[in-house]
Amino acid sequence: MLSYAAGCYGCHTSDPNKPFSGGYKIKTKYGTFITPNITQDKTSGIGNWSKTEFIKAMKHGISPSQKPYYPAFPYSWYSNMHDSDILDIFDYLNSIPSIKNKTSPHDLKFPYRIREALWLWRIVNKNLKNNKKGGLEVTNKNRGEYLIKAVTHCSACHSPRTWFSIIKDHENLNGKIETKKLLNDGSPNISKDKVKGIGSWSESDIVFFLQTGIKPNGDFAGKEMSKIIENGTSYLIKEDLEKISRYLLSNKNK
């Protein structure tokens, strides 16, 4: 369930017949990111990774060869995940068929293609980010918050970003305007504001939307959110979706 809800399947699958084998293209204003193979294949996948290396990649965005990952990989959010949940994902990836699929490198514009520049980005991000909510414990009280801030990483799309692509406030889910036509990187306001956000939705409206993509007014989720629902949130059990809804409608969601 976590491998789907956290977006692993959605982002690392371009062909449903070859799940988790990468090759999915994410078009951004920086160029196109091509997701890697995360099946257990030893040459094109992550078959040689240890549990420690997997946790380091997920929580710190550093590869086993000590290279920084681009923030298109949402490790900032996963850094809030419990090691036990991350290891559950690792075990699941170990249990599925290994697929040999060497994916192409990212196709990024200059200067974004210089991976070493990410070290500088990481320093700035570390100083500005407000996403590390350490000590989140899985209790019935804050599981919704944990799922939103650590697992499903809603603010990755629904929080405004600075010009340096850094999210200043992960608790601001006011959405953002599309940077360029056809990129589909805009996102709606999901704050609890009754007019601009989803404050007028009921708990069951949010649960139903995250299961089916259908809004209370009978309209539907857009293309990107439909994929997230189909490949991610629809895998969550109803109780977890109810906890997410409760958080989104609570005062914690500004």
Partner 1 sequence: MTKIIFMTAFLLSTIISNSASAQNAEDIIKYRINIMKSLGNHISVIAANLKGKVSINEDILPHSQSMLLTLSSINIKKLFPINTKASDSSKTKALDSVWIDKDLFQKSMSQSIERTKDLVTAAESGNNQNIAKSLGALGKSCGACHDKFRKKKN
Binding footprint of partner 1 on the chain (CB under 8 A): 177-178, 184, 186, 188, 202, 204-205, 207-208, 211-214, 216-223, 226, 230, 234
Query: Smallest gap, in angstroms, from Cβ of residue 17 to partner 1?
Result: 19
| CB of 80 or CB of 231, closer to partner 1 | 231
| CB of 84 or CB of 217, closer to partner 1 | 217
| CB of 106 or CB of 158, closer to partner 1 | 158
Query: Smallest gap, in angstroms, from Cβ of residue 226 to partner 1?
Result: 5
Query: Smallest gap, in angstroms, from Cβ of residue 33 to partner 1?
Result: 21
Separation in Å, CA 88 to CA 56, 92, 115, 151: 15, 6, 29, 13
Query: Smallest gap, in angstroms, from Cβ of residue 36 to partner 1?
Result: 27
Query: Smallest gap, in angstroms, from Cβ of residue 214 to partner 1?
Result: 5
| CB of 24 or CB of 75, closer to partner 1 | 24
DSSP characters over the chain: -HHHHTTHHHHSBSSTTSTT-B--EEEETTEEEEPPP-SS-TTTSSTT--HHHHHHHHHH-B-TTSPBPPTTS-HHHHTTS-HHHHHHHHHHHHHSPP----PPPPEE-TTTT-GGGHHHHHHHHHHH-----TT----TTTHHHHIIIIIS-THHHHS-B-TTS-BS-TT----B--SSTTS---B---SS-TTTSSTTS-HHHHHHHHHH-B-TTS-B--HHHHHHHHHTGGGS-HHHHHHHHHHHTSTT--
Query: Smallest gap, in angstroms, from Cβ of residue 245 to partner 1?
Result: 12
| CB of 146 or CB of 209, closer to partner 1 | 209
| CB of 188 or CB of 199, closer to partner 1 | 188
